[in-house]
A and B are shown apart, each in its own frame.
Chain A
Amino acid sequence: MVDAELRRPRAVAFGRGDLTRFVPQTTVLSEDDVARALKRMAHEIIERNSGLDDIVLIGLERGGVPIAHALGDALAAIEDRDVEVGTVDASFHRDDISTTHVLPEVTRIPFSVTDKHVILCDDVLFTGRTVRAALDAVTDFGRPKTIQLAVLVDRGHRELPIRPDYIGKNLPTSREESVRVSLGGVELGTRETLENGTREGDS
C-alpha cells in the first residue's frame, strides 16, 4: 500500500508525531481516475517540453515520491525511453522546524540537475510552503534550466506565489477539510484528534 500516512517513521523520543486520524467522507478520484489523470499529465509534460530531452522527475518526500515514479512510468511508456526519478526531502529547508513532527527521509538525486528541466512532483498542493523549501533544496544541487511543478491534487489556500504547471485534479476545499491521496485514489474528509495518544501508523 503506497499510502504516505502509513509510511511515516515513528518519532517517539523526539517528534510529537501526528496525533490525528483521517476520517474519509467522499471519494474524489478512484484508482482508475488517478491513473488517467497521471497519463494526461504525462502527455502535457511531453507536449510542453517538446519531448523528454533533459527531463528529470523529483518527488517530494513523502507523498510525492510514488507520484513521481508513476509519472516516470507513464512518460517512459509514451516515449519508450527511461526517465530519471529522484527524491527530495525538504525538511531541512523549511522555515518552521518547530512544527516538523516527522523524521526526515534521505534525499536521493543521483543525477545532475544542471541544465535539466526538473519536474517537481507532489501529491497535494496546499500552502505552497513545502514546494518553496523544495525549490531551495533542489537548487542547492545545481542550476536547472527550468523547474516545473506537477501535483495530483491542488486544494487551494496558497500562502506563497506558487502555481502548479500540471494538475491532476482541482479540488476546492475548506481549511478544516483534509485530503488523502495515494495512487489508489483521492478522498476528502476531516482529521480527528486521537484521544489516547497513539498515532496513525502505530500498531
Chain B
Amino acid sequence: MKDLLTIGDLGADGIQEIMHAADSFAEVCQRPIPKVPALRGKTIASMFFEDSTRTRTSFETAAKRLSADVMNFSASSSSVNKGESLRDTVETIEAMGVDAIIVRHKSSGAPEQISRWANASVINGGDGWHAHPTQSLLDVYTIREEGRTFDGLRIAIVGDISHSRVARSNIEAFHTLGAEVTLVAPPTLLPPHVEALGAHVSHDLDAVLANTDVLYLLRMQHERMDQALVPSLGEYHRAFGLTLDRAKQLPSSALIMHPGPMNRGIEISPEVIDDERVRVLNQVTNGVIVRMAVLYLVLGSAAADRSAS
C-alpha cells in the first residue's frame, strides 16, 4: 500500500497491522533513546494547506523518531500565495526528492488528487469534511490500549458530525472493527442520509449516556457559528456539552475522548476535564506512536513495491 488516504483503504486487516506495529513503537518511545534509524535517508514533506499544530507536530515528531528528514511546507508562507497551482506546488516539492508527503487540505479529495500526481507516498493528514485516517487510528489505539475489544463496544460520537472529517473516519474505523456507533447531535449538525454511515442517531445526549462505553466529543467549530446551526454556544453546551451532571450518568468504566483542541465550557465543562475517565492526553501520546507505525509501514511497503518492479 503506497498511500494512506482513508480508513476504507485499510480495512480491518490494515488497521490491525498498524495496531500491531504501533505496539513496537510504543516500546521505542519508552526507551532511554526514543529514536530508531528505521527511516534513515528518507525525506518526508509535510504540506499543510490548512492550520494545524497538533497533527503537524505529531507527524513531525514521529518522523524524527524514525530518523527521517522532515521538510516543512506551509501554504501561508509559500508560492501558493503567488498563485501557484496545487499540482505545480506538489511537483516542485517532489522534484526536491521526497519519499512521502503528508497533506492537510481544506478541500475534500485533495490528498487523493495529489497521490495521482506524485510518485511519493501520500498520507492524508485531514482533508475538508472527508477523512482524517491517522486520527481514527490513534483513537482506535487509545481504546485498544485500555484492553477494550471493539466487538459490540458502544461508542457515542457527540457534536458537529456534518462538518467533521474526524467523525467520518471514526465511524468507518469503529464500524469496521465491529463497534456500535451512535451519533448524538442536533438535526442541523447531522449530514443528510446519515443512516448510510451505518450508525444509530440520537438527538438526546442524556438518553444515551448510561449505555455508552466510549464518549467521543467533537470540537464545536466556532467558524460555523455564523451559519446559525445552533442558537448559541451556551445553548449547545446545555444540550450537548459534557457537564458534571452528565459525567455522573456515564458508567464509571467509560472513556471520554476528544480529538482536540478542546473548547472548555462548550463541548466539555472545565470541571470534567480532570475526570479520570478522560483520555485526551493519551490520545496525543498515541498519535506519535501510531503515526510512527503508519510512516514505517507505508514507506516500507512502497519501497518493497519499487524493489519488486
Contact = CB atoms under 8 A, between A and B. Distances in A.
A130 interface: no
Interface string B94-123: 000000000000000000000000000000
Contacts of A12: 13-14, 17
B298 A14 contact: yes
Contact of B31 (A11, A97, A140): A140
B interface: dominant SS: helix
Interface stretch (A62-70, A88-96, A155-163): A88-96
Interface string B10-28: 1101100100110110111
A13 interface: yes
The secondary-structure label for the interface of chain A is loop
A105 B31 CA distance: 15
By size class, the interface of chain B is: 20 to 34
Given A91-B38, A140-B32, A16 B24 contact: no
A139 B33 CA distance: 10
Most chain A CB within a 10 A radius of its CB, from B299, B300, B307: B300
B225 interface: no
Interface in A84-104: 89, 91-94, 97-101, 103-104
B152 to A, nearest CB: 24
A142 interface: yes
A74 B13 CA distance: 39
A62 B32 CA distance: 23
A9 interface: yes
Contacts of B298: 14
B304 A140 contact: no
Given A98-B303, A98-B306, A136-B37, A92 B17 contact: no
Contacts of B31: 140-141
A142 B33 CA distance: 9
Given A14-B1, A93-B36, A97-B39, A108 B306 contact: no
A104 B17 CA distance: 10
Nearest to B11: A13
Contacts of B39: 97
Interface of B: 1, 10-11, 13-14, 17, 20-21, 23-24, 26-28, 31-33, 36-39, 66, 296-301, 303-304, 306-308
Closest 6 CB pairs of A and B: A13-B14, A98-B303, A92-B36, A92-B38, A14-B297, A104-B24
28 contacts: A9-B20, A10-B13, A10-B17, A12-B14, A12-B17, A13-B11, A13-B17, A14-B1, A14-B298, A14-B300, A14-B301, A15-B301, A16-B308, A89-B24, A91-B38, A92-B37, A93-B37, A94-B38, A97-B39, A99-B307, A101-B304, A103-B17, A103-B20, A104-B20, A105-B24, A108-B27, A141-B31, A142-B32
Given A10-B17, A98-B306, A141-B32, 13 more contacts: A9-B17, A11-B17, A13-B17, A15-B300, A16-B304, A91-B38, A92-B28, A92-B37, A92-B38, A92-B66, A103-B17, A140-B33, A142-B32
